[in-house]
Amino acid sequence: RVAKIVLDQLVKTLKATPLGYIYSDYLPPRLLLKPDGTSDLMKHEIFYWINKDSGPDLVLYTGDAQPILPEGAFRLSEAVVKLAEKLGVETVVTVGAFITGKIAEHPQVYGAASELVLVKELEELGVKIIDSGAVTWMNGLIPGLAKVRNLKGLFLSGETSGFMIDPRAAMIILRVLVKKLGLQIDMTELEGQAKEIETALKQVGDKDSDSSGSSEYIG
Protein backbone atom coordinates (compact mmCIF):
# COMPACT_ATOMS: atom_id res chain seq x y z
CA ARG A 1 0.00 0.00 0.00
CA VAL A 2 3.02 2.33 -0.03
CA ALA A 3 2.28 3.61 -3.54
CA LYS A 4 -1.39 4.19 -2.71
CA ILE A 5 -0.46 6.25 0.35
CA VAL A 6 1.97 8.36 -1.71
CA LEU A 7 -0.55 9.02 -4.48
CA ASP A 8 -3.46 9.66 -2.12
CA GLN A 9 -1.33 12.21 -0.29
CA LEU A 10 -0.38 13.97 -3.53
CA VAL A 11 -3.97 14.03 -4.79
CA LYS A 12 -5.28 15.33 -1.46
CA THR A 13 -2.60 17.92 -0.76
CA LEU A 14 -2.35 19.28 -4.30
CA LYS A 15 -6.15 19.13 -4.74
CA ALA A 16 -5.60 17.39 -8.06
CA THR A 17 -8.47 17.29 -10.55
CA PRO A 18 -10.00 13.93 -11.60
CA LEU A 19 -9.32 13.11 -15.25
CA GLY A 20 -10.84 9.64 -15.53
CA TYR A 21 -11.01 6.13 -14.12
CA ILE A 22 -10.67 2.53 -15.28
CA TYR A 23 -12.80 -0.46 -14.30
CA SER A 24 -11.16 -3.60 -15.65
CA ASP A 25 -11.56 -7.37 -15.52
CA TYR A 26 -7.78 -7.44 -15.08
CA LEU A 27 -8.27 -6.19 -11.51
CA PRO A 28 -9.22 -8.47 -8.59
CA PRO A 29 -12.95 -9.36 -8.55
CA ARG A 30 -13.76 -7.53 -5.34
CA LEU A 31 -16.25 -4.95 -4.12
CA LEU A 32 -14.64 -2.44 -1.78
CA LEU A 33 -16.68 -1.44 1.28
CA LYS A 34 -16.21 2.12 2.55
CA PRO A 35 -16.43 3.56 6.09
CA ASP A 36 -19.68 5.36 5.23
CA GLY A 37 -21.36 2.10 4.20
CA THR A 38 -21.17 2.62 0.44
CA SER A 39 -19.29 0.35 -1.94
CA ASP A 40 -17.41 0.47 -5.23
CA LEU A 41 -15.65 -1.92 -7.56
CA MET A 42 -11.87 -1.86 -7.62
CA LYS A 43 -10.61 0.70 -10.12
CA HIS A 44 -7.65 2.76 -11.28
CA GLU A 45 -7.94 6.57 -11.28
CA ILE A 46 -6.20 9.38 -13.15
CA PHE A 47 -5.79 12.95 -11.88
CA TYR A 48 -3.98 16.04 -13.13
CA TRP A 49 -2.50 19.07 -11.44
CA ILE A 50 -1.46 22.34 -13.08
CA ASN A 51 1.62 23.88 -11.48
CA LYS A 52 1.12 27.63 -11.18
CA ASP A 53 4.82 28.10 -10.42
CA SER A 54 7.84 27.22 -12.54
CA GLY A 55 7.81 23.47 -11.83
CA PRO A 56 6.25 20.70 -13.94
CA ASP A 57 2.56 19.88 -14.18
CA LEU A 58 1.62 16.40 -12.92
CA VAL A 59 -0.51 13.52 -14.16
CA LEU A 60 -1.21 11.17 -11.25
CA TYR A 61 -2.22 7.53 -11.74
CA THR A 62 -3.33 5.40 -8.80
CA GLY A 63 -5.35 2.27 -8.17
CA ASP A 64 -6.92 0.01 -5.57
CA ALA A 65 -4.84 -3.01 -6.62
CA GLN A 66 -2.37 -4.37 -9.16
CA PRO A 67 -3.75 -6.53 -12.03
CA ILE A 68 -4.02 -10.21 -11.16
CA LEU A 69 -2.48 -11.51 -14.41
CA PRO A 70 0.73 -10.57 -16.30
CA GLU A 71 -1.30 -9.81 -19.43
CA GLY A 72 -3.36 -7.28 -17.49
CA ALA A 73 -0.25 -5.67 -16.06
CA PHE A 74 1.21 -5.25 -19.56
CA ARG A 75 -1.98 -3.90 -21.11
CA LEU A 76 -2.76 -1.41 -18.36
CA SER A 77 0.88 -0.28 -18.22
CA GLU A 78 0.93 0.22 -21.97
CA ALA A 79 -2.29 2.26 -21.74
CA VAL A 80 -0.74 4.44 -19.03
CA VAL A 81 2.39 5.12 -21.08
CA LYS A 82 0.38 5.88 -24.22
CA LEU A 83 -1.73 8.37 -22.25
CA ALA A 84 1.41 9.95 -20.80
CA GLU A 85 2.85 10.31 -24.28
CA LYS A 86 -0.39 11.83 -25.57
CA LEU A 87 -0.46 14.36 -22.72
CA GLY A 88 3.12 15.43 -23.37
CA VAL A 89 4.63 13.84 -20.27
CA GLU A 90 8.45 13.81 -20.38
CA THR A 91 9.30 11.81 -17.25
CA VAL A 92 7.35 8.87 -15.81
CA VAL A 93 7.83 8.02 -12.12
CA THR A 94 6.48 4.95 -10.34
CA VAL A 95 6.67 4.31 -6.60
CA GLY A 96 6.45 1.21 -4.47
CA ALA A 97 7.80 -0.74 -1.53
CA PHE A 98 11.27 -2.15 -0.91
CA ILE A 99 10.32 -5.00 1.43
CA THR A 100 13.17 -6.36 3.52
CA GLY A 101 11.37 -8.37 6.19
CA LYS A 102 13.30 -6.34 8.77
CA ILE A 103 12.48 -3.22 10.74
CA ALA A 104 14.84 -0.39 9.82
CA GLU A 105 15.44 2.38 12.33
CA HIS A 106 16.23 4.78 9.50
CA PRO A 107 14.52 3.49 6.32
CA GLN A 108 16.04 4.46 2.97
CA VAL A 109 14.62 5.25 -0.44
CA TYR A 110 15.83 2.93 -3.20
CA GLY A 111 15.53 3.67 -6.90
CA ALA A 112 16.45 3.04 -10.50
CA ALA A 113 16.26 5.05 -13.71
CA SER A 114 16.17 4.62 -17.46
CA GLU A 115 19.42 6.51 -18.08
CA LEU A 116 22.64 7.36 -16.25
CA VAL A 117 21.91 11.08 -16.01
CA LEU A 118 18.79 10.30 -13.99
CA VAL A 119 20.68 7.78 -11.87
CA LYS A 120 23.11 10.56 -10.92
CA GLU A 121 20.18 12.84 -10.05
CA LEU A 122 18.73 10.18 -7.76
CA GLU A 123 22.08 9.72 -6.04
CA GLU A 124 22.28 13.47 -5.43
CA LEU A 125 18.85 13.26 -3.78
CA GLY A 126 20.13 10.60 -1.39
CA VAL A 127 18.45 7.67 -3.12
CA LYS A 128 20.18 4.28 -2.88
CA ILE A 129 20.51 2.84 -6.39
CA ILE A 130 19.15 -0.66 -7.04
CA ASP A 131 21.74 -2.40 -9.23
CA SER A 132 20.37 -5.95 -9.36
CA GLY A 133 17.11 -7.90 -9.30
CA ALA A 134 13.86 -6.77 -10.92
CA VAL A 135 10.96 -4.41 -10.27
CA THR A 136 7.66 -6.27 -10.49
CA TRP A 137 4.32 -5.64 -12.19
CA MET A 138 3.19 -2.14 -13.17
CA ASN A 139 5.84 -0.48 -10.99
CA GLY A 140 8.48 -1.86 -13.33
CA LEU A 141 6.53 -2.13 -16.57
CA ILE A 142 5.48 1.52 -16.73
CA PRO A 143 9.00 3.04 -16.63
CA GLY A 144 10.26 0.15 -18.78
CA LEU A 145 7.68 0.77 -21.49
CA ALA A 146 8.24 4.52 -21.16
CA LYS A 147 11.90 4.00 -22.07
CA VAL A 148 10.86 2.05 -25.18
CA ARG A 149 8.84 5.12 -26.22
CA ASN A 150 11.78 7.46 -25.54
CA LEU A 151 10.33 8.85 -22.33
CA LYS A 152 12.39 9.14 -19.16
CA GLY A 153 11.56 6.60 -16.47
CA LEU A 154 12.17 6.50 -12.72
CA PHE A 155 11.27 4.05 -9.96
CA LEU A 156 11.36 4.96 -6.28
CA SER A 157 10.74 2.51 -3.43
CA GLY A 158 10.52 3.08 0.29
CA GLU A 159 12.21 0.61 2.61
CA THR A 160 9.69 -1.25 4.78
CA SER A 161 9.52 -4.45 6.80
CA GLY A 162 6.30 -5.57 5.10
CA PHE A 163 4.75 -6.42 8.48
CA MET A 164 2.02 -3.79 8.20
CA ILE A 165 0.91 -0.68 6.30
CA ASP A 166 3.87 1.67 6.61
CA PRO A 167 3.35 5.44 6.20
CA ARG A 168 7.07 5.91 6.93
CA ALA A 169 7.97 4.38 3.57
CA ALA A 170 5.50 6.67 1.82
CA MET A 171 6.78 9.72 3.68
CA ILE A 172 10.43 9.23 2.70
CA ILE A 173 9.42 8.74 -0.95
CA LEU A 174 7.40 11.97 -0.84
CA ARG A 175 10.39 13.83 0.55
CA VAL A 176 12.43 12.78 -2.48
CA LEU A 177 9.61 13.74 -4.86
CA VAL A 178 9.26 17.14 -3.20
CA LYS A 179 12.94 17.84 -3.86
CA LYS A 180 12.92 16.36 -7.36
CA LEU A 181 9.78 18.17 -8.55
CA GLY A 182 10.01 21.33 -6.46
CA LEU A 183 6.65 20.72 -4.76
CA GLN A 184 5.18 22.21 -1.61
CA ILE A 185 3.49 19.35 0.26
CA ASP A 186 2.02 19.45 3.76
CA MET A 187 2.99 16.12 5.33
CA THR A 188 1.99 16.90 8.92
CA GLU A 189 -0.77 14.28 9.00
CA LEU A 190 1.39 11.64 7.33
CA GLU A 191 4.29 12.36 9.69
CA GLY A 192 1.95 11.78 12.62
CA GLN A 193 0.85 8.44 11.18
CA ALA A 194 4.48 7.52 10.57
CA LYS A 195 5.35 8.14 14.23
CA GLU A 196 2.45 5.93 15.34
CA ILE A 197 3.62 3.11 13.06
CA GLU A 198 7.19 3.54 14.24
CA THR A 199 6.02 2.96 17.81
CA ALA A 200 4.04 -0.11 16.74
CA LEU A 201 6.98 -1.52 14.80
CA LYS A 202 9.25 -1.20 17.82
CA GLN A 203 6.74 -3.29 19.75
CA VAL A 204 6.69 -5.94 17.04
CA GLY A 205 10.50 -6.14 17.05
CA ASP A 206 12.79 -7.46 14.39
CA LYS A 207 11.48 -10.96 13.73
CA ASP A 208 14.17 -11.83 11.23
CA SER A 209 17.32 -9.95 12.12
CA ASP A 210 19.56 -12.65 10.65
CA SER A 211 17.85 -12.84 7.25
CA SER A 212 19.95 -12.21 4.14
CA GLY A 213 19.34 -9.87 1.22
CA SER A 214 17.58 -12.71 -0.58
CA SER A 215 14.41 -11.85 1.33
CA GLU A 216 14.13 -8.45 -0.34
CA TYR A 217 11.13 -7.79 -2.56
CA ILE A 218 10.89 -4.81 -4.87
CA GLY A 219 7.48 -3.77 -6.16
pLDDT of res. 206: 52
pLDDT of res. 199: 77
0.85 cut: is pTM over it? yes
What is the C-alpha separation between 217 and 134, in angstroms, rounded?
Answer: 9
CB neighbourhood size of 20 (10 A):
10
Tens digits of residue pLDDT in 52-107: 988 899 999 999 999 999 999 999 999 999 999 999 999 999 999 999 998 888 99
Sketch the domain layout of the chain as residue ranges: 2-218
> What's 82-129 look like in SS3?
HHHHHCCCCEEEEEEEEECCCCCCCCCEEEEECCHHHHHHHHHCCCEE
Mean pLDDT of the 132-160 span: 97
pLDDT of res. 128: 98
Average pLDDT across the chain, whole number: 92
pLDDT of res. 205: 62
* 135: nearest Cα among 84, 94, 91: 94
What is the C-alpha separation between 33 and 13, in angstroms, rounded?
Answer: 24
What is the C-alpha separation between 18 and 9, in angstroms, rounded?
Answer: 14
pLDDT of res. 203: 73
pLDDT of res. 193: 86
Tens digits of residue pLDDT in 170-187: 999 999 999 999 998 888
Percentage above 70 pLDDT, the chain? 92
* 186: nearest Cα among 171, 169, 166: 171
Q: Terminus-to-terminus CA distance in the chain, angstroms?
A: 10
- The residues with which 93 forms a beta bridge, in sequence order, are 154
Instruction: Report the range of poorest mean pLDDT among 23-32, 157-166, 172-181.
Output: 157-166
State the fold for domain 2-218. Rossmann fold (3.40.50)
Q: Per-residue confidence at 217, pLDDT binned at 50, 70, 90?
A: low
